[in-house]
Structures are given as structure tokens and as C-alpha cells.
A and B are shown apart, each in its own frame.
Chain A
Amino acid sequence: MGSRNGAGCVMVFEVFRQEKKGQPFTHAGSVVAPDAAFADAWAREQYGRRGESEALWLVPRESVHQVTEWADEFDLKYRRVDGYSIKERLRIARERAGTAAPGAS
């Protein structure tokens, strides 16, 4: 989009979309707009014109506090669960209970 955005279009608004009432808002994309009024009109058309959204949140990208630095100096992988395979244990437990895995028929 770069070359088509004139000098007036300087803000990026991150767009979060709620599909149905009560559901969480999920990131849908962004709009580049000169101000909130333009972002409102443009986001409506891009993320709502087919009735696919219950509500939108428009957040100026500069308002987003991003976290990317993580300290892991002491190799804390013992805190994670990825060493444990529960697949086999689940199979055995299900066999014992006589129930099938969810989704299996």
C-alpha cells in the first residue's frame, strides 16, 4: 500500500474483531488512516460490510505496549510441560473407562 498512502495518512490502527456477542476480540488486521474518524469509516467497510462482525476495536498501533524481551538465563525448561507426553496415558485411561477420544467415531 505504501506508494498510494499520501503524506496525510500516517497512523496505523490495529483492528480487533468480535464475531458474536460474548466472544473474545481477535486481531483481524489493520487500517492506515489519517485519524480516528477515517479509521472508523474504513474499518467498517473492510471488516464489517458483510455483517461478519458484532463489534470492532480500533487501537492506534502506538498505544500498543509490546513485550519481546525474555530472560531465560537459567534454562527453566523444567517449568514447561512439553517434556511430558500424555497421549499414551490418555489412550490407556480412555480404554479403561471405555470412552472414545473426542472427535473419534
Chain B
Amino acid sequence: MSERAQQLLALADDELILGWRDSEWTGIAPTLEEDVAFSSIAQNEIGHARALYELAAAELDSDADALAFDRQPGEYRCAPLVELHLMDWAHTIARRYLYEEADRVRLDALKKSDDSELAGLAAKIDREETYHRLHAEMWAGRLRDEPRFREAVDELWPYALGVLEPEQRPELARRVGLTVVDARERGEHTPALAELWDEMTEVRRSAPGATW
């Protein structure tokens, strides 16, 4: 598989798995308004995943659904940050905030890519991410002095660094006011992914080849 396809799958997998995780809050977010907003953001991330999978699919002679659902858990390229099954709002918001900041660094680099297709898609995604960042920064600002939120950020920080390439990490650290530490790298999945995969692909596996 080309380096480009690998990169596209890593990006798409991050967006799909985080979108899936965040959608687990639908119906139980802390307020009704946040429920609508958070679900909408989760849906947007899955839309970004679709666009990225389609770009990869053109190269791999596949399609977006097959790439999203027909691979084995070990074949996914997502960062461990997005896999974690977080059961409380402080961690969930800490992850959104850290992910959005990391994603901004990543998209800024992709927008300058020589690959015009990828650069164009990154710019399109970034326009929507502006509102995700507004949402994440609003929450981070509000919870900044809450011990539970600060602990969650510290706990997830090595995972957040693992979203980015090593050379991009100092920029992320600068943005969030932390220092670079050993990252929880991409490649080795957390046990949470297999569990999520089981649920996420259940319908698709129940009727292989069916169209919906």
C-alpha cells in the first residue's frame, strides 16, 4: 500500500472512530443543547471520514464502506486516543479539545501538501473544523480550573501527541501549553478498539455483500 493510502487511512480511521465514540453520548450528554451539538459534531467527523476513505478507495480500487467496515481491527490505523472508551464528560471533552488542537496542526500541514486532491479536501474539512474548535475551546475555557478536567487532559496528553508525527508535536505542545513527553504511538491498538469494532461492524457482517 502506498504511503499516501496509508496516510489517508490513518486520517479517516481517526475521524471515523472518534465520530463513533462521540456519538455514544447521543441521548445522554449533560444538557439537551449539548446533546444536539455533540451528536452533530460526531456526525461531521464521520462525514470527513467518508470523504477521506473515498480518496483512499480510488487508489485502492475499493469503496468507502468496505474500507470503513470490512477490515480487521488490526488493520485500522487510528491513534489510540480516539479508541478509548471514556465514561465521563471531563475526559470526553478533554479528548475533543486535544484532538481538535492536534487536528488543526495536521490540517495546516495537509493544506500545504503538493497533493492537490488531499490539500483541497483538507481545506474543506478545516472550514467545518473551525466550528468544532469553537465548541471545544469554549468547553476547555469553561472547565480550565476544574480539577477533573485538568487531570483528564494530563492523562490523555501522551495519547494526543500520538495523533501527530514527531516533528509536529512541539507545535501542539505550544498550542495547549504543555511539554512534549513520550507519546502513546499509533500502531499498537488499545483493547477498546476490538470491542468497538465488534459493535460497529455487526450489521455489516450479518449480511455480507448486502446493499443498504
Contact = CB atoms under 8 A, between A and B. Distances in A.
Interface of A: 1, 4-6, 9, 31-34, 37-38, 40-42, 44-46, 49
Contacts, number: 43
B32 A4 contact: yes
Given A37-B138, A38-B138, A44-B131, A32 B31 contact: yes
Contact of A1 (B32, B40, B41, B131): B32
Nearest to A39: B33
Contacts of A41: 37, 131, 134-135, 138
B109 interface: no
Interface of B: 30-37, 40-41, 131, 134-135, 138, 141-142
B36 A42 contact: yes
Contacts of B141: 37
B142 A32 contact: no
Contact of B30 (A6, A31, A45, A46): A6
Given A34-B142, A37-B138, A49-B40, A42 B30 contact: no
A41 B37 CA distance: 8
Contacts of B34: 42
A100 B141 CA distance: 63
Given A5-B31, A31-B33, 18 more contacts: A1-B32, A5-B32, A6-B31, A32-B31, A34-B142, A37-B138, A38-B138, A38-B142, A41-B37, A41-B131, A41-B134, A42-B36, A44-B131, A45-B33, A45-B36, A45-B40, A46-B33, A46-B37
A24 B108 CA distance: 39
B177 to A, nearest CB: 20
B142 A42 contact: no
A6 B31 CA distance: 8
- Output the residue of A5, A38, A42 with the most chain B CB within 10 A: A42
Nearest to B40: A45
Contact of B37 (A9, A34, A37, A42): A42
7 contacts: A6-B31, A9-B31, A32-B31, A37-B138, A41-B138, A45-B40, A46-B36
A45 to B, nearest CB: 4
A45 B131 CA distance: 9
- Output the residue of A1, A9, A38, A41 with the most chain B CB within 10 A: A41
A99 B142 CA distance: 64
